[in-house]
Amino acid sequence: MDLALLRTFVTVHRAGSFTRAAALLGLSQPAVTSQIRTLERQLGRPLFLRQARGVTPTTIGDELAHKAAPHLDALVEITETGLDADSSLRTLHLAGPPEFTAERALPALTELIGDDGHGFALRASFGNAEETLEGLSAGHHDLAISTARPRGALLTATPLCDEEHVLVAAPRWVARIDSDKLRLQGAPALENLPVVEVHESLPFIARYWASVFDSLPAASGTVIVPDLRAVLACATTGAGLAVLPRYLCGPALERGDVVALSEPTVPPLRTYFLVVRTGTLAMPHIARAHEWLMRAATGWS
């Protein structure tokens, strides 16, 4: 069986469409279609069902992909690095949300650079869940951290850790909030107070309000900055209330720079997923980074 045909097949299986696979392979879409038809004729079985948008693998297609992909990835590994090349020359391309990637993932992964002569070079990029998963699907990244679990067979996601969210404000706001009213009435006690958020839609505030107060926030954003570290800085200076991950605001809470306004019995949580293209964990540098992050996450609180 022609390995080129198998490579095209696995790329289509991962990409979910002939068009996207053609772009990844540097081929025309008709060439990809022709190669898949040739492989289907050789096997005597259909490998994909054509849909209005993209393709869906048949049972035989899934079985072939699961058997062939790891071996093809291993061959690509040999081809790209060379038989005598040092694995430390491999480059890992990581993508994820800026704050979590900077504060959690990168410090953990940098321990692998040059470690025991088997490290790798590291390249990181930041983006939201949609951008990150699209880039991973297109082959721009090797490993992605996402707050959304991807659908379909192209990507494989593993829960990495849970992130606890905390409602905080600078100490000077505490005197202006009736703690008894907050405990008994919840959200109404916080109405008309300024809010610091990452987006006009108030994603963190809205999620917290829905989970803890079972209501929608009545306030609008006073300060909008697209980075949670900037949100913390603004909240620390007294700009308003904010909902932040505990890992990010924990040191500020310990120093008293901000105060937790509510301590719900069941705090709101958000799950992070570690995502790869299906089959690429056969590549040693991706597998090692994946395993290292999973191990590091057991110590994150």
For 248-300, write each residue's pLDDT tens digit.
Answer: 999 999 999 999 988 888 999 999 999 998 878 877 888 889 999 999 999 88
| Nearest-angstrom CA–CA distance, 112 and 118 | 8
Q: How far is CA 183 from CA 79, 150, 165, 179, 189, in A?
A: 63, 38, 18, 6, 9
**Which tokens go with 74?**
């291993």
User: Which secondary-structure segment (H or E) carries 55?
Assistant: strand 55-57
Give residue 242's identity as a one-letter amino acid code: A
Average pLDDT of span 175-199 = 72
Average pLDDT of span 110-133 = 81
Average pLDDT of span 147-172 = 91
117 — pLDDT class (breaks 50, 70, 90): very low
User: What's the confidence (pLDDT) of residue 65?
Assistant: 87
**Which tokens go with 214?**
């079972």
For 55-101, write each residue's pLDDT tens digit.
Answer: 999 999 989 988 888 877 777 666 555 544 444 457 899 999 999 99
Cα 41-45-49 angle, rounded to 5 deg = 105
pTM above 0.85, yes or no: no
**Could you tell me which residue, 91 or 177, shows the higher pLDDT?**
91
CB contact at 8 A, 88 and 116: no
Give residue 215's identity as a one-letter amino acid code: S
Residue 200 burial (C-beta neighbours within 10 Å; 0-12, 13-18, 19+): exposed
**Could you tell me which residue, 17 or 165, shows the higher pLDDT?**
165
